Structure 1
Amino acid sequence: MPSILDKPYFRDEAAAYAKLESIVWPNGPVCVHCGETNRIGLLKGTATRPGVYKCYRCRKQFRVTVGTVFEASHIALRHWLQAVFLMVSSKKGVSSNQIHRTMGITLKSAWFMTHRIREAMKQPGWPTGGKLGGSGMVVEADETFVGGKAANRAYGPIPLKQAVFALVERNGGVRSFHVPDVTAANLVPIIARHAHVDSRFMTDEANTYSRTGRWFRDQQTVNHAAKEYVRDDAYTNTLEGYFSILKRGIYGIYQHVSEAHLNRYLAEFDIRHTNRIKTGSDDMARMDRALAGIVDKRLTYRGTDRNRATAPHA
């Protein structure tokens, strides 16, 4: 069986652009300057870079990477696609150090490269997926904390833990959020926005969820404090499994995730879980899903504090 990395778009630059164009422009090329779709031609001169089009309406040139996380990158697009595939196919993630060694690029470039890809994996507003759950479906809610342990600290202050709240549809997608505190004021608006009221809602015994009981068709709780974890089909074990993979990835692969970038790492774990093989998606389908999110998400080294690269952690 041939290696997946032997596919043409992982080895040839023109094939890589054709692959990306098939995802970003499913109905054919679109001028990024004026929106023209008809009077466009692919430039084929020997001195022309791969994937360059010319619009004969506004007379400007463009490529599919304009306005995406790949814009103005000196890294070959085929290497970008290899990195995307490695990230979506590695269950617990792949570190920037590994990308640095595998691709033969600097660690700084690898770190910024992986953060660009994670930005593409974000699902702002989940416009295509709607709310999780629905009639006859089950949605679980739970929270966890990620960060160092005081017992592992030889000296210095106790490291702060970051709170992560998540919703998962059984046999479906997951959406996780970095929240400042696990309080009803922070969690209830997220639940209202992302969980369908016709769902059966499963939580633990935390008082945080007491206000949501009247919203859903049915809400069941399990009392973890009393060592009750399953009662018929009432449990939050699906989320517990997701949190287990999340923590193993953060502690075992990345080792340290800063608070400023935690949401990007959560987006990476979300897309892998939501598009896992169990739901009918394979590694290539996950790659296509990640590439579909690259538009209008360009990041630069300079700019706002939210987007500025600070130091390569992992």
Structure 2
Amino acid sequence: MTQHFLLSAKARTLSVVQVARMSEEEARAAFRAIRWATTDGDPVCPRCGCCAVYEYASRPIFKCKACGHQFSVTSGTIFASRKLPVRDYLLAIAIFVNAAKGMSALQLGRDLDVQYRTAYVLAHKLREAMAAENETMTLSGTVEVDGAYFGGYVRPENRKEDRVDLRLKANQSGKRRVVVVMRQRGGRTLPFVFRSEGESLPSILARVEPGSTIHADEAPSWDELHTRYETRRINHSIAFSDDGACTNQAESYFSRLRRAEWGQHHHISGRYLGFYAGGAAWREDTRRKPNGALYGLLIAAAAAHPVSRQWKGYWQRAR
């Protein structure tokens, strides 16, 4: 019997111990090599893009000869204005990518020996970097579309005679959100968060190229897709797949996100559900890559991502 990829030695190309044993100088050099890979690690001014830069001997910062801007190896990235050593950020990335179903801020804070607040913002910054390249991405070919509801849990009453039908809108909390996913077969996964599946139609029309074939279930929200695409429907009350029509890959994504909610986070706020959904999509798309490759991809994404306006100074302002 063929061994599953994740159980093989090929899936383990990075050890967290190797990253933890780095010195701060080695960590800065590793981050520098990935951030400025096009210049072989030579720093580039994040303000004007000038390559004429000299390095201070007394402290690990650079100064641009053209505009005089002083910057560090993390300036202009999602780790700008950092307080932790660069090695701790690399260690956090190594721990974060090793978690197949995601990682809670509480566990990450314990592993790094930092406050919960620090770990919470750091984890969300990494999720933001994971999903950054999906902002302008479009899908084509065969695309599966499906939706699943998350959050807004209402505790049922103790006695049976006091319980109500929680499927009715009047008995819900109003905090429940639907994650609508568009997943291209052999391609990428794009999740979006809405209040109802019907609200997702403009996003689907904008992100799925004309001429594509869409697979969806029998929910009435997807009826309008027939006017724009070749649409194949599957009735899940009868079968999961019928003559090639199915949404199994979309369901696979929802399985990962649902397990992250139940097993890791236990509660996901509707306001930040999009970040968790984007992180789960990144993990689903890269599930066949070794952890060393995931480590390099996430460092590159974090180094290329600008300063986060959502999470920089998160605890210092009214949210």
Q: Aligned partners of 2:140, 2:262: CA distance in 1, in Å?
A: 30
Amino acid at match of 1:258: S
Give the counterpart of 2:116 among 107, 110, 129.
Answer: 107
Report the Cα offset of residue 59 of structure 1.
Answer: 3.0
SS in 2 for 1:133: coil
Report the Cα offset of residue 208 of structure 1.
Answer: 1.6
SS in 2 for 1:168: strand
Label 1:175 to 1:13 Cα distance change in 2 as closer, same or farther (>3 A).
same
Q: Aligned partners of 1:33, 1:22: CA distance in 2, in Å?
A: 19
Amino acid at match of 2:306: D
Match of 1:144 in 2: 148
Report the Cα offset of residue 61 of structure 1.
Answer: 2.2
Label 1:10 to 1:118 Cα distance change in 2 as closer, same or farther (>3 A).
farther
Contact 1:9–1:15 under 8 Å retained in 2: no
Amino acid at match of 1:36: C
The answer to whether 1:253 aligns with 2:264 is: yes
Q: Aligned partners of 1:36, 1:9: CA distance in 2, in Å?
A: 33
Contact 1:173–1:275 under 8 Å retained in 2: no
Deviations 1:235-267 (A, max 9, x none): 011111211111110121001111121111111
Contact 1:300–1:308 under 8 Å retained in 2: no
SS in 2 for 1:270: helix
Contact 1:143–1:164 under 8 Å retained in 2: yes
Q: Aligned partners of 2:157, 2:281: CA distance in 1, in Å?
A: 30
SS in 1 for 2:301: coil
The answer to whether 1:191 aligns with 2:204 is: yes
Amino acid at match of 2:186: N
Contact 1:146–1:164 under 8 Å retained in 2: yes
Q: Aligned partners of 1:63, 1:88: CA distance in 2, in Å?
A: 25
- Percent identity for Structure 1 against Structure 2: 26
Label 1:109 to 1:309 Cα distance change in 2 as closer, same or farther (>3 A).
farther
The answer to whether 1:69 aligns with 2:78 is: yes
Label 1:296 to 1:10 Cα distance change in 2 as closer, same or farther (>3 A).
farther
SS in 2 for 1:31: coil
Amino acid at match of 1:296: P
Q: Which runs of 5+ in 1 are unaligned?
A: none
Give the counterpart of 2:292 among 284, 287, 292.
Answer: 284
Amino acid at match of 1:81: L
Amino acid at match of 1:229: F
Deviations 1:246-300 (A, max 9, x none): 11101210011111211111111111112221xxx32233333333333213332
Amino acid at match of 2:16: L
The answer to whether 1:173 aligns with 2:181 is: no
Q: Aligned partners of 2:314, 2:130: CA distance in 1, in Å?
A: 21
Give the counterpart of 2:99 among 66, 78, 90.
Answer: 90
Amino acid at match of 1:99: L
Match of 1:133 in 2: 140
Spell out the pairing of 1:39-58 with structure 2 (5 A cutoff): 39-43=52-56, 45=57, 47-49=58-60, 52-58=61-67
Contact 2:182–2:190 under 8 Å retained in 1: yes
SS in 2 for 1:122: helix
Give the counterpart of 2:235 among 215, 223, 226.
Answer: 223
Contact 1:79–1:103 under 8 Å retained in 2: yes
SS in 2 for 1:65: coil
Q: Which runs of 5+ in 2 are unaligned?
A: 1-8, 163-170
The answer to whether 1:120 aligns with 2:124 is: no
Report the Cα offset of residue 98 of structure 1.
Answer: 0.7
Give the counterpart of 1:210 among 215, 223, 241.
Answer: 223
Report the Cα offset of residue 57 of structure 1.
Answer: 2.3
SS in 2 for 1:245: helix
Report the Cα offset of residue 222 of structure 1.
Answer: 0.5
Label 1:124 to 1:42 Cα distance change in 2 as closer, same or farther (>3 A).
same
Amino acid at match of 2:143: V
Label 1:106 to 1:172 Cα distance change in 2 as closer, same or farther (>3 A).
same
Report the Cα offset of residue 19 of structure 1.
Answer: 2.4
Q: Aligned partners of 2:30, 2:108: CA distance in 1, in Å?
A: 21
Contact 2:121–2:314 under 8 Å retained in 1: no
Q: Aligned partners of 2:20, 2:75: CA distance in 1, in Å?
A: 19
TM-score of the two chains, using structure 2 as the length reference: 0.81
Q: Aligned partners of 1:273, 1:71: CA distance in 2, in Å?
A: 28
The answer to whether 1:34 aligns with 2:48 is: yes
SS in 2 for 1:72: coil
Number of residue equivalences: 290
